[in-house]
Amino acid sequence: MKTTLTAKWIAPVSRPIIEDAAIVIEAGRIIDVGPQADVLPRYAATPVTPLGHVLVIPGMVNAHTHLELSDTAGYDDSTNHSHPPAGDSPDPSEHAAGRQNPVAWASRPWCRYSDTSSVPAKMGEPTIECPGNPSPPAFVDWLKQMIARSAAQPDQLAARCSAATIHGIAQCLRFGVTCVGDITSRPAATRPVLTRSPLRTVSFGEVRAMGANRSLLDERIALATSGCVSRRPDNTAARSNLRIGLSPHAPYSVELPGYARCLAVARELGIPLTTHLAENPAEAEFLEHQTGPFRDLWNSLPWWDQRIPRFTGGPIRLAHSLGLLDFPTVLAHVNCCDDTELDLLAAGRASVVYCPRTSAWFCHPPHRFREMLARGINVALGTDSCASSPDLNLLEEARFVHRLAPDVPPNTLLEMITLNGAKALQWDTDLGSLDPGKHADLAVFTITTPDPLREILEVSLLPDRVLISAREPSDPATSAQ
């Protein structure tokens, strides 16, 4: 049965925003979208549901997160509130007007724009205002904390990952995110939850195998890809909400042959591949000299050995030399990138996922996403995990970039949190824009100004409604039972 929704604005993403718009849906998929004056006469017998003075955008796609770490921030899922520091109250006028996002922006000190400090921009570009983190954590110290956290109470880790994934799913749906690229180190705990969840997920099983652990590589790849169904056209299971991918973790935890093996497996199975790459400037030093902060990290672990291969030229050239850039690999972060590396990325098929608030929290160099986009590189946005970001609010990442780089057109930012994410996850034939044939995954925002895209980027709105295949998603806590 067909149904028509009308809205003051619909942003299909693949084309300019439409005013006084209509979208026609059948069996959970979009069959038509356009101005009401054109669409309604074509479906005269179809019931019409007016959504009112709203903006409809595609369900957002968070291309890089770790749902199993969603219990690491001060996010109270029962209230959908973060916990800002004491004394940090929302703007009362905004609050009274009902326009304040209950997930307070200023839940971490680095989010406060009063703390902004200028950092040099690339030549010829407007200055990027970096919201300085007054006390950025040393990246490797943070990694050590994450390792210690995983090692603590190992008998409870699976249950913790499962519960955190449920909380993470609830956050995503509340924020209008309907698809994620999720990294999991505990697929046996998280995939059963994701299978029953309404959220669409590419579940990337994470692999680490360096030094004395290299012999565990194949075993870990098998675990990471468990439940995998290859994407053959005749395979109906591949059309489910859950797809499996593979994630060699990072160049400081997977050796070169390990990366090559992961790529071969991804090709063989026809599944997506992702890795953390060029996140931190110290990766290049570690690869070439096996010194620096990452070696310090290894010195605190028992698995280092002398057979770990070296590589000169940094992580992006490493990825290029291994063929990762000739594959649609999802490269999380890419905070550190020189001009030649930009050329390498532009010549390849890999996507980049910029995680703006995480990048700012660690005070990484200004991200070159604008130059990447200008060169045709697919750049999506991601939240990374709640261990480095206040929450999983992907639109808040776009708002953050809007403040850092107000010259970037709002539609570009919208594209980065929808269609570009879907392209990165190789799901764009079904998701990421409001076009005929795609799933009716929608986020609906009440709008009060004549400029809806700017309004959702400048006011901390939450969506009033979120639909997946044109339906209200079920509660992840109950669907996970």
- Of 384 and 415, nearer to Zn ion (C-beta) is 384
- With tokens 């953050």, the residue in question is 400
Please state the closest distance from residue 147 (CB atom) to Zn ion, in A: 14
Of 384 and 455, the one with the shorter C-beta distance to Zn ion is 384
Q: How far is the CB of 105 from Zn ion (least distance, A)?
A: 22
Spatial distance between the Cα atoms of 166 and 163, rounded to a whole number of angstroms: 5
Q: How far is the CB of 365 from Zn ion (least distance, A)?
A: 18
Q: Which stretch binds Zn ion (CB under 5 A): 125-133, 229-237, 380-388, 459-467?
A: 380-388
Q: Residue 300: CA atoms inside 13 Å, Cβ hemisphere, count?
A: 12
Give the C-alpha separation, 475 to 473, whole Å: 7
Binding segment for Zn ion (CB under 5 A), chosen from 36-44, 169-177, 383-391, 423-431, is 383-391
Measured from the CB atom, is 9 or 286 closer to Zn ion?
Answer: 286
| Smallest separation (angstroms) from Zn ion to the CB of 282 | 16
Q: Contact between 384 and Zn ion (CB under 5 A)?
A: yes
- Least separation in angstroms between CB 217 and Zn ion: 20
Residue 435 amino acid letter: D
Tokens of 285: 């030093």
Q: Can residue 455 be called a binding residue for Zn ion (CB under 5 A)?
A: no
Considering CB under 5 A, how many residues would be counted as binding Zn ion?
Answer: 1
Nearest CA to 344 out of 372, 369, 370 is that of: 372
Q: Decide whether 384 or 397 has the Cβ nearer to Zn ion.
A: 384
Tokens of 158: 């699976």
Distance of closest approach, residue 345 Cβ to Zn ion, in angstroms: 19
Of 384 and 396, nearer to Zn ion (C-beta) is: 384
Which lies closer to Zn ion via its Cβ, residue 77 or residue 384? 384
Measured from the CB atom, the residue of 9 and 75 that comes closer to Zn ion is: 75
In 215-317, DSSP assigns E strands to: 242-248, 274-277
By C-beta, is 330 or 414 nearer to Zn ion? Answer: 330
Task: Show contacts with Zn ion in window 283-312 (CB under 5 A).
Answer: none
Q: How far is the CB of 155 from Zn ion (least distance, A)?
A: 25
CB of 56 vs Zn ion, minimal distance in Å? 30
Q: Which of 82, 62, 63, 77 is nearest to 176 (CA)?
A: 62
Question: How far is Cα 97 from Cα 109, in angstroms, rounded to an integer?
Answer: 25
**Which one-letter amino acid corresponds to residue 282?**
A
Contact 197, 480 (CB under 8 A): yes
* Least distance in angstroms from the C-beta of 185 to Zn ion: 11
CA angle 160–247–363, rounded 5-degree value: 80
- CA 353 – CA 422 distance, rounded (Å): 11
* The two three-digit tokens of residue 284, written as one number: 């290049």
Q: What is the separation of C-alpha 234 from the centre of its chain, rounded to a whole number of angstroms?
A: 29
Using rule CB under 5 A, residue 397 touches Zn ion: no
Q: How far is the CB of 383 from Zn ion (least distance, A)?
A: 9
Stretch that binds Zn ion, among 20-28, 160-168, 244-252, 378-386 (CB under 5 A): 378-386
Q: Is residue 306 classed as helix, strand or coil in its secondary structure?
A: coil
CB-nearest residue to Zn ion: 384
Query: In the chain, count of helices (H) and strands (E)?
Result: 18, 19
Closer residue to Zn ion in complex, CB, 9/252: 252
Scanning 131-255, the segments in alpha helix (DSSP H) are 139-151, 157-174, 187-196, 217-224
- Reduced to 3 states (helix: H, G, I; strand: E, B; else coil), residue 145 is helix
How buried is residue 144: exposed, middle or buried, by Cβ count under 10 Å (0-12/13-18/19+)? middle
Which tokens hold the place of 30? 């979009």
What is the Cα 66 distance to its own chain's centre? 9
Q: Which lies closer to Zn ion via its Cβ, residue 249 or residue 439?
A: 249
Identify the residue whose tokens are 């999991």. 184
Stretch that binds Zn ion, among 264-272, 290-298, 379-387, 418-426 (CB under 5 A): 379-387
Task: By CB under 5 A, name the binding residues for Zn ion.
Answer: 384
